[in-house]
Structure 1
Amino acid sequence: MRAVIFPGQGAQGRGMGRELFDAHPELVEEASNVLGYSVRELCLDDPEGRLGRTEYTQPALYVVGALAHRRRREEGGAEPDFLAGHSLGEFCALHAGGAFDFATGLRLVQRRGALMAQARGGGMVAVVGTGQESLRALLEDGGFAGATIANDNTPDQQVVSGDTGTVDALVPHLESRGVRCVRLNVSGAFHSPLMRQAQQEFARSMEGFTLRPPRIPVIANATARPYPDDDPARLLIEQIVRPVRWTESVRYLLDQGVTEFVELGGRVVGRLIERIRSAPRPAPVSRSHSRTPATALGSALFRRRLKVRYAYLVGGMYRGITSPEMVVRLGRGGMLGFLGTGGLSLPEVERGVKAIQRDLGEGQPYGVNVLADHDDPRAERGLVELLMRHDVRVIEASAFTRISEALVLYRARGLRRGADGTPVCDHRIVAKVSRPEVARAFLAPAPEPVLDRLRRANELTDEQVELARQVPVSHDLTVEADSGGHTDGGVATAMMPAMQALRRQAQEEHGYAEPICLGLAGGLGTPSAVAAALMLGADYVLTGSINQCTVESAMSDVVKDILQDADIHDTAYAPAGDMFEMGAKVQVLRKGVFFPTRANKLFSLYSHHDGLEELPAKTRSLLERTYFHRSLDQVWDEVREYLRSQGRETDIAQAESHPKQKMALVFRWYFFHTTRIALEGDPHDKVNYQVHTGPALGAFNHWARDTEFAYWRNRHVDRIGLRLLEDAADWIDSTYRRWQEPAA
């Protein structure tokens, strides 16, 4: 098989393309008209010494690469099986693959070069003779958290990008450790997050262009895999801030059977390829019987009980962010996801459940989230009744502070007596808890007063009540440490042992025939975090925040683009809209938005004033202009209409006679509104986006930089889950081996 490749910046030189310009005068003239200067003169003579400047280098290389491709095709060169280009060369590869015509590509390259040339405050360092892992260790050892390995050119040649201060300190740090390095003559930190502004400007420039899926596979620098058929423009935009994974790209081509590489427009990347070919490759990870398989992690009892292949769950995120598509993909992969129902109407939930049941095969696992409704228990009851009508066998109970009647009804209705007389549970509740008193309630049998009330109403049989006294409300309890959304900010290493003690007490006190399983959630965004959860004794793990930034998530693409680059410190705590008056907290994104500050301001105003009329005129005007984008009277009209549509006339009457309660309802509207605009990706009000997420996503983004998951459009929930588990198994195995090594 054959691959045609194109070089990037660094391959330029006076006289380049000399043999091409006379052969294609019409293209040369078209290029000069687009650029506004003679590209022939620039490449052949460079009288003004501009060829080494980024804004001129990139268009020149593109023209030469495109002309070389044209000549090769006219001379009858065999069509390649793959195309690839190093950095700027990727534009040549896409043009050769038919993604855009010559002039379109040149305009894009001219804009890209101009934007990158404008970058200031950064630099790049070439590092020779050190592998990527060794270099990472050196960066970590020196505390260079802001440095990015921008180019992985060969196994022993890397390029690091960073801000000016980082680069100034990095060179002596590396040289003092005997590492050869050279500071490059560039003004910006190319292929790093510091190029974000240039990337955003380039994205705006591309809005008028149409990119077609390449007819020949083109290997993307950002993923080291072929460009996808859907939205190729997005991956090209991402290239500006993503590392050039050249070593991995070449190895991918070699693995596909490529034996011949033809370089057009230079001789630089061909030499890199020879070094990659000749370098020893890391031994592939073996999944032999001597290694722990991902299917062996966690509790076998839990996997059997929930009918999953892997002890891996995905929590239900608000307003269907955990979508039917996400639940189905997980179920097909042997994992269990919970459809997010909070904030959805019953018809919307019903459509989601039907879609899941239609698309999953018999026995494939799925569940539905039930979020505690502190305002309207009737809505909670209606949801549970709907799920029972559709024979949903597993639910996730979230944000409960007590055992509600709806939960007891669901649990008890699913009980029957087995052949040996012990209870058989057809309805499973996976409860998410963060406080010991709530855990105790779920680990105990259903409250007697609730059972009695349901029995008197003939909603439970005598046998169901009797059996409900013999089982806990939940056999599967998820301990939730600090996380996105509702959180008590708990620490896993403190919470898990305490919850394990509560489990032992409950098991001994009630003598349950079936053991209780404990899972762990919160902060799980990397294989080592998953491994740590399992080492703490978790029977299963549950992830949340990391799944919001995936293909299957119902969150808007605009928010996913933001989340993809979130770091571990890009979150903050804000009041929870559904428990506003109680002062409960949620963890949300703070990067690029004002929501956390504004939400906390609303709670402060609520705490210090007894009604909307007490608000200072200036404050009220600010709220109406920047928070609500309408008058507070208009907000109240909308709230009142909503309550009326839900049959909550009593709430309207109480609010109109109690100013403080009315204020709470009006302020709550802001929380609903900010969630909605984030889900819709409203481009006009990004600063008010409310996005629930925790630091696990930032940790995941760090880990994902060097994997196929660097770009969210490559993030599929089942593949993420499997990779986390497999790498966690390796982490555990390697840790045990290290512990067993003899002392020096």
Structure 2
Amino acid sequence: MSGIQREDEGDFMKAILFPGQGSQFRGMGKELFPLYREMTETASDILGYSIEKLCTEDPDGKLNLTQYTQPALYVVNALGYRKRRDEGMARPDFVAGHSLGEYNALLAADVFDFKTGLRLVQRRGELMGAAREGGMAAVIGIDEASLAALLKQHQLTSIDLANFNTLSQTVIAGPKDAIAQAEKLLTAQQIRCAVLNVSAAFHSRYMEEAKQAFAAFLRQFRFDAPGMPVIANVSARPYRDGEAADLLARQISSPVRWTDTVRYLMGAGVTEFVEVGATVLTRLVEDIRKTATPLLVAQAPIPAAAPAAPAASGARPALLAENLGSALFRKRFGVKYAYIAGAMYRGIAAPKLVVRMGKAGLVGFFGTGGLSFADIEKGIQYIQGELRNGEAYGLNLLANYAYPELERQTVDLYLRYNVRLIEAAAFMQMTPALVLFRLKGLKRGKDGQVEGHHRILAKVSRPEVAEVFLRPAPEHIVQQLLKEGQITLEQAELAKRVPVSEDVCIEADSGGHTDGGIPTVLFPAMLALKRAMEKQFAYAEPICMGLAGGIGTPEAAAAAFMMGADFILTGSINQCTVDAGTSDDVKTLLQDINVQDTDYAPAGDMFETGAQVQVLKKGVFFPTRANKLFSLYHHHDSLDDLPEKTKKQLQTTYFKKTFEEVWNDVRKYLEGQGMRHEIVKAEANPKHKMALVFRWYFGYTSRLALAGSQDERVNYQVHTGPALGAFNQWVKGTPLESWSNRHADEIGKKLLTETAEYLNLSLDRLFPLAAA
């Protein structure tokens, strides 16, 4: 008999089989997850969600979505195989898997480890899940040759044969209308045809784009030679050393030759087929063994695993998501990725979002601006209660030009809760609150070096503001704090040796407060400033400089890293996610915008100065109305000075209240904040009173948006930038098209993964010899 056999067991040979997509069910793996807690937690960390909860409970109904199905099956198959081995099952002679199951076969043969396989499957599932064209159908009761001839006879040449499951069961794939025609044709001829519930024409020519993208992704990995024969779906022959990347990429757009796989194993002497985790393949194998003959192929000895060949001279190692940006930044923040989800006003960057980011090896900032101290405190308690293992998180500190004493009170609250990281936003000058937070964390280490336990991530958009943060704290503020007893003499001395911010984020044109900067102009100028400051003050550690504003696609993120960004920060794209603290109605509006659907409006907190925010334009009137208020403020001296027609319009259409009612609301707020002096100033200065009344509108419109008051949708104030429009176009036609499937941590990892792929392809195109 041709084939390989074990000397100690004569002709008896065993093959382990792993099922693929279609074998999933709610409750799978229930008995396995408690036995292999470490592997389960590792999988959840990589995926960014609980794999155990998905498989056993499926609370959100995602288990049947391709991007979730494939990782779920991979993990359960892996645990099932591990359990069999732990119970004493001998190492098999052969392994094979149907489509997705082939990854478990390769894992069993030590071609890659569990974590690598999961990353491969996760990306494969994303790419295949994103495909939206075409469909599939299972055809039963006709052989492959007759089916192909019948389709050709009726000019259904757009259909491919995708899965050869048995001699009489073939899966076809192609355009949905063609599949519908085939179903009608076959049914009429008494041939069973069942259309499958899939999103695309898998394993066919229509997956070529996904295949190319996956091939680029595979370049990041090194694969070992198989430790036992693994039968490939593409060829129905054993993998050879060096073939893994090519065969796995081709598998996406090539038919699954399962019948020939089983026939090959029969010809090799396999007499026992054991399926892990299901019985789908067992039934197919029984059918094939009854109806098909063994495939006798002259067997070459399967070589033992050999060490990987050294990289060719001049070869460039592939970039990974984890390698993008600065290693120093990742070390400082204690994160896996050089990626930040920035704070968004009034708790839109919610505690739940921050926790998800931290648990995924990323960092997010709680958007505390505009919240009460009670709400901030509640948010801190939630975050600290969830992130107990040193995961990264931060809180926002928003400049308050109208009431600067609130900055100090906010910092006092942060210090009371031992918050170590804050994001300073909208500052134009250094303030005592910022300096206090920075210096409170300074101490002299055992080696005499400065140790800083409080970090300030400064978001800046102007060189003169960046310089303030890149310099040591102003001496007069340091001395003021020392005199007040807020800092020690040692901290005052150490302040001279460190910048206020060792981590600075350059914010180009973004949602919310913006100067409309162009990243390719702004960032290089800021890098030059950074180098000058490092040289002038001889800091012990380099300054990390990142980029924000307009980053919503892999191409934009790649541009940031290529310019030298140590990290990237996103904002607008995180607002349109499940975990963001704004209303569902706002998220529904945002998921459909394009890059042209934003506008500029006055910033409510800096109304009189003319500072601007970028906001949603599509479907709302807020930017037009806010700009009109700003124009009225600059052309009139009081509310009484306004034309009667304008007064009526503002009170009935904009405010839905009289000026007097609005002023009463403002008075109550100011009294509640202990700001009686503002009331006195307004009553003495009609123009200041007009500013406060107009500023009420900005708070009102923010509250409408947060509450999702649909009857007042035209007045929604929604801070967002065109990056979200670009992101929407990038994910159009994928599960992420709907905000209900978006999570900030998953977006971050996906964005970085595809950025690495994009850079690898770009570098190969520019320097082809490096990839030889």
- CA deviation map 1:523-548 (0-9, x unaligned): 00001100100000000000000000
Q: CA deviation at 1:317?
A: 0.2
Task: Give the counterpart letter for 2:451 in structure 1.
Answer: V
Q: CA deviation at 1:707?
A: 2.9
Q: CA deviation at 1:706?
A: 3.5
Task: Give the counterpart letter for 1:306 in structure 2.
Answer: F
Q: How many residues get paired?
A: 516
Q: CA deviation at 1:361?
A: 2.8
CA distance in 2, matches of 1:214, 1:397: 38
CA distance in 2, matches of 1:664, 1:271: 64
Match of 1:471 in 2: 498
Distance 1:741 1:646, change over 3 A: same
Q: CA deviation at 1:408?
A: 0.3
Q: CA deviation at 1:378?
A: 1.4
Match of 1:694 in 2: 721
Return the match for 1:267 from 183, 205, 228. 183
Q: Does 1:448 align with 2:475?
A: yes
Return the match for 2:412 from 373, 385, 388. 385
Q: Does 1:675 align with 2:698?
A: no
Q: CA deviation at 1:400?
A: 0.3
Match of 1:288 in 2: 221
Distance 1:657 1:245, change over 3 A: same
Q: CA deviation at 1:264?
A: 10
Distance 1:278 1:617, change over 3 A: closer
Distance 1:668 1:260, change over 3 A: farther
| Partners of 2:357 and 2:744 within 8 A in 1 | yes
Match of 2:760 in 1: 733
CA distance in 2, matches of 1:643, 1:522: 34
Paired residues for 1:249-648 under 5 Å:
267=183, 276-279=202-205, 282=211, 284=214, 285-286=217-218, 287-289=220-222, 290-648=317-675
CA distance in 1, matches of 2:429, 2:655: 33
Q: CA deviation at 1:324?
A: 0.5
Larger of the two Rg values belongs to structure = 2
Distance 1:304 1:250, change over 3 A: farther
| Partners of 2:62 and 2:68 within 8 A in 1 | no
CA distance in 1, matches of 2:130, 2:646: 46
Distance 1:288 1:266, change over 3 A: closer
Distance 1:266 1:218, change over 3 A: farther
Q: Secondary structure of the equivalent of 1:460?
A: coil
Task: Give the counterpart letter for 1:579 in structure 2.
Answer: M
Match of 1:245 in 2: 132
Distance 1:358 1:609, change over 3 A: same
Q: CA deviation at 1:418?
A: 1.1
CA distance in 2, matches of 1:615, 1:661: 14
Q: Secondary structure of the equivalent of 1:685?
A: helix
CA distance in 2, matches of 1:214, 1:408: 47
CA distance in 2, matches of 1:719, 1:486: 26
CA distance in 1, matches of 2:60, 2:608: 58
Q: Secondary structure of the equivalent of 2:427?
A: coil
370-379 vs 516-525, which moves further: 370-379
Q: CA deviation at 1:708?
A: 2.6
Distance 1:225 1:705, change over 3 A: farther
Paired residues for 1:76-91 under 5 Å:
none
Distance 1:248 1:528, change over 3 A: farther
CA distance in 2, matches of 1:589, 1:580: 18
Percent of aligned positions that are identical: 51
Distance 1:363 1:625, change over 3 A: same
Distance 1:456 1:301, change over 3 A: same
- CA deviation map 1:10-58 (0-9, x unaligned): xxxxxxxxxxxxxxxxxxxxxxxxxxxxxxxxxxxxxxxxxxxxxxxxx
| Partners of 2:136 and 2:202 within 8 A in 1 | no
Q: Secondary structure of the equivalent of 2:457?
A: strand
Task: Give the counterpart letter for 2:472 in structure 1.
Answer: P
| Partners of 1:224 and 1:246 within 8 A in 2 | no
Q: CA deviation at 1:422?
A: 1.6
Q: Secondary structure of the equivalent of 2:647?
A: helix
Distance 1:261 1:632, change over 3 A: farther
| Partners of 1:81 and 1:216 within 8 A in 2 | no
Q: CA deviation at 1:698?
A: 0.2
Q: Secondary structure of the equivalent of 1:593?
A: coil
Q: Secondary structure of the equivalent of 1:472?
A: coil
Q: Secondary structure of the equivalent of 1:486?
A: strand
CA distance in 1, matches of 2:204, 2:321: 33
Paired residues for 1:649-688 under 5 Å:
649-688=676-715
CA distance in 2, matches of 1:412, 1:248: 62
Q: Secondary structure of the equivalent of 1:709?
A: helix
CA distance in 1, matches of 2:720, 2:660: 32
Distance 1:459 1:277, change over 3 A: closer
Q: Secondary structure of the equivalent of 1:318?
A: coil
- CA deviation map 1:324-351 (0-9, x unaligned): 1000000000100000001101110010
Structure 2 gap segments, 5+ residues each: 1-21, 26-57, 71-128, 139-161, 173-178, 185-192, 223-316
| Partners of 1:479 and 1:521 within 8 A in 2 | yes
Q: Secondary structure of the equivalent of 2:710?
A: coil
Q: Secondary structure of the equivalent of 1:684?
A: helix
TM-score, scaled to structure 2 = 0.63
Distance 1:271 1:696, change over 3 A: same
TM-score, scaled to structure 1 = 0.66
| Partners of 1:315 and 1:337 within 8 A in 2 | yes
| Partners of 1:675 and 1:690 within 8 A in 2 | yes
CA distance in 1, matches of 2:472, 2:130: 54
Match of 2:284 in 1: none
| Partners of 2:583 and 2:705 within 8 A in 1 | yes
Return the match for 1:707 from 724, 729, 734. 734
Q: CA deviation at 1:421?
A: 1.1
Q: CA deviation at 1:218?
A: 9.4
Q: CA deviation at 1:495?
A: 0.7
Task: Give the counterpart letter for 2:712 in structure 1.
Answer: D
Structure 1 gap segments, 5+ residues each: 1-79, 84-212, 227-241
CA distance in 2, matches of 1:604, 1:486: 19
Q: CA deviation at 1:679?
A: 0.5
CA distance in 2, matches of 1:687, 1:661: 27
| Partners of 2:131 and 2:733 within 8 A in 1 | no
CA distance in 2, matches of 1:266, 1:278: 16
Q: Secondary structure of the equivalent of 1:574?
A: strand
Q: CA deviation at 1:436?
A: 0.6
Distance 1:348 1:215, change over 3 A: closer
Distance 1:614 1:507, change over 3 A: same
- CA deviation map 1:686-714 (0-9, x unaligned): 00000000000000000011433111111
Q: CA deviation at 1:267?
A: 1.3
Q: CA deviation at 1:275?
A: 6.9
- TM-align CA RMSD: 3.0
Paired residues for 1:157-172 under 5 Å:
none
CA distance in 1, matches of 2:393, 2:137: 40
